[in-house]
Amino acid sequence: MELNIREIQSIIPHRFPFLLIDKVVELAPNEKLVAIKNVSINEQFFVGHFPQEKVMPGVLIIEAMAQAGCIYFYYSKNMQGQTIIYYLAKVTAKFIAPVHPGDQLRIEVTSIKLMPKVGFLKTQAFVKDALVAEAEIGFGIKET
């Protein structure tokens, strides 16, 4: 299953400039999600991070992984038709390499443990085939 930007916006409440997932290219509920974030030089955060050596902030890489995780949880828990907001409860992250303008992040999400209203996910971000960041993310879901 694939999702375009309109379908993503129907699931998570984020909008420009904070919607950090451009599309989902693979989705198998309870198994795996693969999402794409195209990193453009036009991103607002590049104005100040950093003017001489533009690097995507690590916290935004985690946010992109969390947004992908929310979509994964939404489909894994069969929440179709509901709008959700998530709360980040726990993050352990490791940053391996910088992400620059022109890169394309491929974010992969798998389950560690899923419960009715909370989940713990393993997320990894790649540029091409190189791992650039990984995180274990725990979160809770609030239905609206």
Give catalytic residues, as residue numbers.
49
Contact between 125 and 107 (Cβ < 8 Å) = yes
Task: Report in angstroms the alpha-carbon separations of 89 from 4, 86, 94.
Answer: 27, 9, 17
Residue-by-residue DSSP string for 18-58: S----EEEEEETTTEEEEEEE--TT-GGGGTS-SSS----H
